[in-house]
Amino acid sequence: MSEGGKGIYPVILLTVVVAVSMVLLTMTDGVTKEEIDKRKDDEIKEMLGVQFEDMDDFEYYEDIELYIIKDEGGNTIGYAFKAVGQGYGGDIEMLVGLIDESTIKDVSVISHGETPGLGAKITESWFTDQFQGATVDDLALSKDGGDIDAISGATISSKAVVDSIKQTALEKIRLLKEMEEE
Amino acid sequence: MNELVTIFITMALVNNFILSRFLGLCPFFGVSKKLSSAVSMGLAVLLVMLAATSVTWAINTYILEPFDVEFVMIVVYIMVIASLVQIIEMAIRRTNITLYNALGIYLPLITTNCAVLGVALIATNEGYGISEAVVAALGAGLGFALVLAIMSGIRERLDLADPPKCLRGMPIAFLVAMFLGLAFLAFGGMV
Amino acid sequence: MGNGLKTFIKGITTSNPVFILLLGLCPTLAVSTSVDNAIGMSAAVMFVLLGSNITISLIRKAIPGMVRIPVFIVIIATFVTIIHLMLQAFVPSLSKSLGIFVPLIVVNCIILGRAEAFASQNSLKDSIADAFGIGLGFGGAIFIISFIRQVLGTGEMEVFGMHVFTVPGLETNNMAIFILPMGAFMVIGLLLGLFRHMGVMESE
């Protein structure tokens, strides 16, 4: 270890070390970035595949952030989008599948911060299955006149899910119709 | 507002940094048996956390994300923390020399305190805005200080007790932490 | 050669980073919920330790005392970022389970400690031996703790998806407390007490 460190030498050394570090990191980023993005795509693809068994491929409309699900023949068999609700413990991120422009195919919860044993039950199939085949326009909790039973003791989580799905679905459908009219 | 309170309580109690997330263990177990030093340390860490979280949030929002260079996050964040600790160290030395001497070597060690880098990373990963990030740091720091204070009180009493020879010191400290953690589990019902 | 071997063995036993030096406790307790995580974390730490020890030892004569800590930190942070990105890209499941503890390797006192106490003052050969020894010492410690926690907490041992054995009677009556944070404190506290009682370590 050299002693001293007077003058500008220490600063130069530190700058050199930082520069070399940046170069190495940029190289690593170059190598890994594609893989990392691909991993994220694979995740979505897997979730979509679970919802749409006949799915062969999908298209992603970036401007309106909507997935178009296609089967082997290239026909559109449905749509999917991400909905984010404000739950008790933060964001609830969901993947919502649509059979057509008015009916829901299925709902999968991607991530959430709800309380285990209460709000966390939104991931259980008995809850999400209720959305299968539901109409977007009529979507509501039973206590609000709809067909979705809330999780007892977790009304806020349940309502967050229902509200965000309905609002986002209505918006996506509207945007899709606008796009088709162009 | 509701969300901010939830974040605060979660960071401070429900997911306490020491007892639940395992962050900041080194100072926790090395903490002196004097309540005053423990509290000073806790507050110093809180100060660094607040400063670090705000600065790293700004850097991430205005530089890292827009320029798509998030891969330098780790290097940049730790350098920010190291610099902030230096600055705070100099500030304490100039304004309160007794405090500076009391904290001794633990002050520069705040740089390697996983809790500080931890809260900055958590705020980034959760996508918090600036107010949420600051509240998170506040909660994390206060929770950290609280557990540190409790631990120092317990260790003071432990000195007067007579544990088996092989358990004296660190082993029994860990066991105490276990019971503290158990107690803090109760906070889970708050959110 | 004798010196290198001695250094290597010291890292595993008398200078064991977790049980003797009591460093790197945060990741040790946090990721010891399963053996998979333990092995993954040890590998990551070993990578960073080797990288930083080698680099610092190579340039040790050129580093002025004044800036040595920032230089160490940048070097360590670089290696941590590299392994973090690599894991995200090629072993995403491990990256998810280890979570923020991979980036937190940068403040793992073990690595900075070795840089300061050893690599900056010793030859390349010895620094490599030290990295291997300390890395294995860390890996061994975290393996023991996670093994205990996983077996008692879930009643069975599964590594990388392969079922290794089940403890009869324990699988249905597993003691979930071991998987929870307080279980970690309990296991390491009792282990330390045991080691001291056995005379392997000195009591206070």
pLDDT per residue as tens digits for the range C90-132: 888 888 778 888 999 998 888 888 888 888 888 888 888 888 9
| Residue extents of the structural domains in chain B | 18-190
In chain B, residues with a C-beta closer than 8 Å to the C-beta of C149 are none
Please give the pLDDT value at position B57. Answer: 92
What's the CA gap between C44 and C48, in Å, rounded?
6
Q: Which of B137, B130, B188 is nearest to B17 (CA)?
A: B137
0.80 cut: is pTM over it?
no
What's the CA gap between C82 and A57, in Å, rounded?
33
pLDDT tens for A8-60 read 888 888 888 889 988 988 888 888 888 888 887 787 788 888 888 888 888 88
* Candidates A13, A29, A31; nearest CB to C64: A13
Q: Which of C144, C115, C109 is nearest to C131 (CA)?
A: C115
The DSSP secondary-structure symbol of B11 reads I
pLDDT at A113 over 80: no
In chain C, residues with a C-beta closer than 8 Å to the C-beta of B178 are 182-183, 185-186, 189
Per-residue pLDDT of chain B (191 residues; tens, 9 = 90+): 777 887 888 788 878 888 878 888 877 777 667 788 888 888 889 999 999 999 999 998 888 887 878 888 889 999 999 999 988 888 888 888 887 887 777 788 888 888 899 999 888 887 788 888 899 999 999 999 999 899 888 888 887 888 887 777 788 888 888 888 888 877 766 65
| Residue extents of the structural domains in chain C | 2-142
Q: Measuring CA to CA, how many Å separate C124 from each of A112, C13, C118, C160, C193?
A: 48, 21, 10, 34, 36
Q: Least CA distance to C101: which residue of chain B?
A: B118
Q: Measuring CA to CA, how many Å separate C132 from each of A137, C51, C102?
A: 63, 11, 19
A22 vs B3: CB contact, 8 Å cut-off?
A: no
Q: Provide the token pair at B27.
A: 């100072």
How close, in Å, is residue A25 to chain C by CA atoms? 7
A10 vs C64: CB contact, 8 Å cut-off?
A: yes
Q: Least CA distance to A87: which residue of chain B?
A: B3
C181 vs B19: CB contact, 8 Å cut-off?
A: yes
C78 touches chain A (CB under 8 A): yes
Q: Least CA distance to A17: which residue of chain B?
A: B75
What are the φ/ψ torsions at residue B26 (nearest 5 degrees)?
-60, -55
Q: Least CA distance to A18: which residue of chain B?
A: B75
What's the CA gap between C52 and B54, in Å, rounded?
29
In chain A, residues with a C-beta closer than 8 Å to the C-beta of B68 are none
* Candidates B19, B82, B114; nearest CB to C73: B82
